[in-house]
Amino acid sequence: MSVAPVETAGSTFLFGRDNSNRLIAPEWPRMAVPMVLITIVIAALHLVLPVIATVLLAALAAMTAHLSKFAVKAEGERQLETGSRMALAGLAVALPMFLFGSAMGLWGSSGQVGWFYCLAAVATISLLATVIQSGRLVSVLAAQVSIWSGMTCVASTLAGYLSLIVGVAIAIAAYYRQRKIDLLQREKSESDQRAQTRAQEILSDYEETGQGWFWETDRRGQLTYLSTPVAEILGKPVEELVGRPFAELFNLSEQSGEGERTLAFHLSARSSFSELAVRAATPEEERWWSITGRPTYDTFNNFTGFRGSGTDLTEKRRSQEHASRLAHFDSLTGLSNRFRMSQTLEKILLAPQVQHRACSVFLLDLDRFKQVNDTLGHPAGDALLKQVAQRLERVVGKMGRVGRLGGDEFQVILPGKIEREQLGHLASRIIESLSQPYSIEGSRVMIGASVGIALAPDDGVTSEALIRNADLALYAAKDGGRGRYHFYAADLHSDAEERRKMEEDLRDAVSNGGLELYYQPVVQTSTEKITGFEALLRWNHPEQGWISPARFIPIAEDTGLIAPIGEWALRTACQDLARWPENVRVAVNVSPLQFANPSLPIIVTNALATAQVAAERLELEITESVFLNDDEGTDHMFKSLKAIGVRLALDDFGTGYSSLGYLRSAPFDKIKIDQSFVRGATQPGSRNGAIISSIVSLAEALGMETTAEGVETLDELDLVRMLGCSHVQGYIYERPLSSMNAAARLSTGLMAIAQGPRSARAARQSMLRKVVLDHGGHRYNAMVRNISQTGALIEGLWNVPSGTIFRVLLADNHAVTATCRWSNEDRMGVEFSMPLRLDETGRIAAVAGKPPALAEADSVVQRKVG
C-alpha cells in the first residue's frame, strides 16, 4: 500500500518532494566523477603532480562518494530510525565533501597551485552538490558546511572548528526536525492502514449480511468481480460467473420494454445509472435488485468498464405493492376505497369528450348497523360488512364500480347515461338485497339500506358537487323513512343552507352575547317551596325569533361551540345565583362533550370563585350517555367534581344508557325522571306510574332525591307526589323565567302554587308520538302530545302563525289537513279539517298503527315556520 507524503510545514523545503523523504539523493554516488575530474584538470593546467596528501584525500573523497550508493539503497529499502538516517547522510554526504575540501585546502597550502583554482574547485563541487541534493536542505547544508569546513581547517584551525560547531548545531536541529516528521509519517501510515483495514471489513460485512453487493466489468461488459453472496443467490460459484456478460445476472425477458432498453442504453452509452430495478436471474424465487453503476476510465481517458453496487429490492417491492393495494382498496372488504373511487369519478368527469362525462353516483348508508356492533361486537360488524360488499358486487355486477368509503358507507359509480327509471330499479334491488337476513356467528341479523342518487352532468359537473348532492339525496332518503332511495333535487340544498346559516348565526350569538339563560323553578313536593331553578338555554334570533335548543344545541356540539357555550352558562348561572337567597340552588346541564373535558373541574371552580357562591348551591345535570365510554376517566371526573362540593343530578333517567351498573359508583345526589314517563301516567292502563314508582324506590335505596319533569296537570302532580317524588318541575308551577323575572319571583317568597287544569280532557288521548308535518313542500319533524277527533297539541315548531295550514302525516298511509289555531313557543294547537275516525275501542284509529318514520329516530327536530 502506497502512502502519500506527509505534508508537514517545511518538510518539502527541507527534504524535497521525494515520496519517502530521503535525505540522500539517488544521484549522489555520481559526485565521485566530478571530484576526480576537477583534481585532474587542475593538475593538468599547472603540469604538476599533486602532493601525496592531496591525492590521498581527493581519492578517498571520491571513493566515499561512490560508496554512498549503499547508503542510498539502505535508506530506500529499510525502515530506519531518524538517527540512523542522519548518520548515513553524514557518511554519504558530509564525509566525502569534507575530505574533498581538505584536499583542496592542502593543495592550495602547498604552493603547487594557486588558491584561486582550489577555491574554484571547491565552489564547483559545492554547486554540483546543491543541484543534486536540490530540495533537501539538510543534505545541502551538510555538503556546504562540510566542504568549506574541510578547506577552512587547513587554512585556519580556529575557523575550522567554528565551522564544525556550526555544522554540528545544524545537524542537531535537522535531526529533531527529521525525527518529528518521521513520527508524523509513521502515525499517518498506521492510521491509513487501519482505515483501509476497517473499510475492507465494513465492505466485507456489507456483502456477507446481504445488505448489498458489488460488481465490476471490463470494457466488453464481462464481469471481473462479483460479491460472493450474489453468486450464491444465483446458484453458481463466483469463478463461473466471472468472465460472463454482466447482463446474464438478470432476467430481462420479463421486464417491460422500457426497463430493458434503459439498462441496455446505459451499458451501450457508457453512462452512469442509479437504483435501476431489475429482476434477478434466480431459478426459483422471484427476487428484485436495485443496481447502480458508473463507467471507469484509465489515466489516458480510455474506457475500462463499469463498476457499481446493488441492493436487494424484493421486500421493498412487496411492501410497495401492498401499500399500493392499501392505498386503492379497502382492507376489510376488498372493495375500492375512497381514494380509488374518487379517482374513478374524476376520470369520468374529465373525459376528453363531453358525451363520455355522464355517470350516476349512488351513496349508500346501512340502517341499524350500529345496533349490530353494539350487541354482537365489532368482529360481527366486520363480518357483516364483508357480506354486504359481496351482495353489492353481485347486484351491481359489471354495470359499475362498488367502493367502501368507511364505516357503513358505500358508493357505487355507474358510467354512462342511464335512465332514472333504470337507476331506480337498480337502487330498489340493492336495498332489497341488503335487507335480506344475514347469518353472523350463528345469529340472524337484519339491517336495511338507504340510497341517495346524483347524476352527472344534471346534478353537478365536478366530483365535489356530485358527491355533495348525492349525500343530500341520501339524507332525504333517511328523512323519508329509511330503506328507500331518493334522487337529488335542488330544494334539498335549502336544509343544508339553513344549517350553515344557523351555524354562522350561532357563532355570532356566542361572540356577541346573543344567548340567554331562563330558569324554571324546582319545587319540593312536601313543602311546595322553591328549592332551586334549572338553567335552560334560550336563543332569541334577531330575524327568526326564538329558536328551540333542539335545533341549535346539536349544531353547537358538532362545531365545538358547546364548550364555550357551556362555560358561559356555568359562569352566568353562578352570577345569577349569587343574587338569590342562600337556600336556593341552580342546576346547569353539562353535555357529554363538556364532561369529557379534563378542564371541567377547573372551569366549575373558577365560576364558583368568581361569583363567590357555595359549591353545594350548584347542581350539575349529567345525562346517561357519559357512561357509554365508561372508563377510569369517567370515574376520575366524578371524583374531581364531588371534591369541589357541587351536587350531581342524573338527567333524563331511563331514556338513554340501558345499564344500571353505573349507579353503584356514580355519586349522584338526584335522579330526574324524564317527562316521557309523566305524560299519560294518569291515564287508565298506563304503566308509567309503575315505572315512576320503581325509579323513586331505587333512588330512595341509594339515598338520592328525585325530580319529576314535565308535570302540567294537577292529577299528574298528585300522582308523582303520591308515588314519592321529592321534587317537581313543570308548567304546573311555572314556565321558565328570565333572570330578571326569576329574581322578581323569589322576592315574593319561596312558596309555589300549582296552577293548571285538573287533568287532560277526557276526549283527548295523551301520547308522545312523532309525526311529519308538510307545509309548502317542506317537511318538519314534530311530536304529538295529545290528540282528539278534531285536533291535537303538537310540539316541535316555534312561533307558528295562526292560520298556517299543514298536512299532518299521522301514520305511513294516513294524512290529515290541519290548521294552526294558536301557538306558544314550541307548542301549537291544530284543528283538523275533518274529524278522525274512532276504532272499536274508542281510540283514534289513525294513531293505532305505526308512526311515520322521521329523519332522526332519537330526537325531535324543531323548526320555526312562517
- 3 band by pLDDT with thresholds 50, 70 and 90: very low
Cα gap 403→412, rounded to integer Å: 6
Percent of the chain past pLDDT 90, that is, above it, reads 28
- In this prediction, residue 368 carries a pLDDT of 77
Cα gap 30→32, rounded to integer Å: 5
- 188 band by pLDDT with thresholds 50, 70 and 90: confident
**For residue 569, pLDDT beyond 90:** yes
Average pLDDT of the residues in 504-522: 91
- Asked if residues 544 and 864 have their Cβ atoms less than 8 Å apart, the reply is yes
Global confidence as pTM:
0.46
- In this prediction, residue 412 carries a pLDDT of 95
**For residue 859, pLDDT beyond 70:** no
Question: Which residue bears the cell 603547487?
Answer: 112
Lowest pLDDT segment from 90-99, 145-154, 218-227, 748-757: 145-154
Task: Give the total residue count for the chain.
Answer: 866
- In this prediction, residue 204 carries a pLDDT of 65
- Asked if residues 473 and 508 have their Cβ atoms less than 8 Å apart, the reply is no
pLDDT per residue over 348-393, tens digit each?
999 988 888 999 999 999 987 877 776 677 888 899 999 999 999 9
Instruction: Record the cell numbers describing residue 583, joined without a space.
Output: 337556600
**For residue 630, pLDDT beyond 60:** no
**For residue 761, pLDDT beyond 60:** no
- In this prediction, residue 853 carries a pLDDT of 55
Percent of the chain past pLDDT 70, that is, above it, reads 85
**For residue 259, pLDDT beyond 60:** no
DSSP string, 608-633: HHHHT--GGGEEEEEEGGGGTT-SHH
Chain mean pLDDT for the chain: 82
pLDDT per residue over 770-800, tens digit each?
889 988 778 888 989 888 888 899 998 888 8
Instruction: Record the cell numbers describing residue 246, joined without a space.
Output: 454482466
> Which residue, among 462, 463, 461, 452, has the nearest Cα to 489 in the 3D structure?
452
**For residue 261, pLDDT beyond 60:** no
> Which residue, among 359, 361, 318, has the nearest Cα to 338 in the 3D structure?
361
Which span out of 230-234, 411-415, 688-692 was modeled with the highest average pLDDT?
411-415
- In this prediction, residue 422 carries a pLDDT of 93
Identify the bridge partners of residue 705 per DSSP, sorted by sequence position: 670
Contacts of 115 (CB under 8 A, 6+ apart): 108
Cα gap 473→456, rounded to integer Å: 14
- 760 band by pLDDT with thresholds 50, 70 and 90: low
Cα gap 781→769, rounded to integer Å: 11
Cα gap 854→866, rounded to integer Å: 22
DSSP string, 155-200: H-HHHHHHHHHHHHHHHHHHHHHHHHHHHHHHHHHHHHHHHHHHHH
Return the H-helix or E-strand segment holding 721: helix 714-722
With residues binned 3-state (H G I as helix, E B as strand, rest as coil), the percentages for the chain, rounded to 5, are 50, 25, 30
- 635 band by pLDDT with thresholds 50, 70 and 90: confident
Task: Say which DSSP state 845 is in.
Answer: G
- 10 band by pLDDT with thresholds 50, 70 and 90: very low
Cα gap 656→658, rounded to integer Å: 6
- In this prediction, residue 863 carries a pLDDT of 35
CA-to-CA separations, 677 to 528, 588, 598, 760, in angstroms, rounded: 22, 22, 34, 15
Which span out of 331-335, 643-647, 663-667 was modeled with the highest average pLDDT?
643-647
- In this prediction, residue 738 carries a pLDDT of 93
> Which residue, among 586, 549, 518, has the nearest Cα to 737 in the 3D structure?
518
- Asked if residues 824 and 794 have their Cβ atoms less than 8 Å apart, the reply is no
> Which residue, among 292, 418, 446, has the nearest Cα to 359 in the 3D structure?
418
Indicate the burial class of 2 (C-beta count within 10 angstroms; 0-12, 13-18, 19 or more): exposed
Identify the bridge partners of residue 604 per DSSP, sorted by sequence position: none
pLDDT per residue over 818-853, tens digit each?
999 888 888 899 988 888 887 766 678 777 665 665
- Note the maximum CA span of the chain: 170
Indicate the burial class of 706 (C-beta count within 10 angstroms; 0-12, 13-18, 19 or more): buried
**For residue 106, pLDDT beyond 80:** yes
Instruction: Record the cell numbers describing residue 864, joined without a space.
Output: 320555526
- 16 band by pLDDT with thresholds 50, 70 and 90: very low
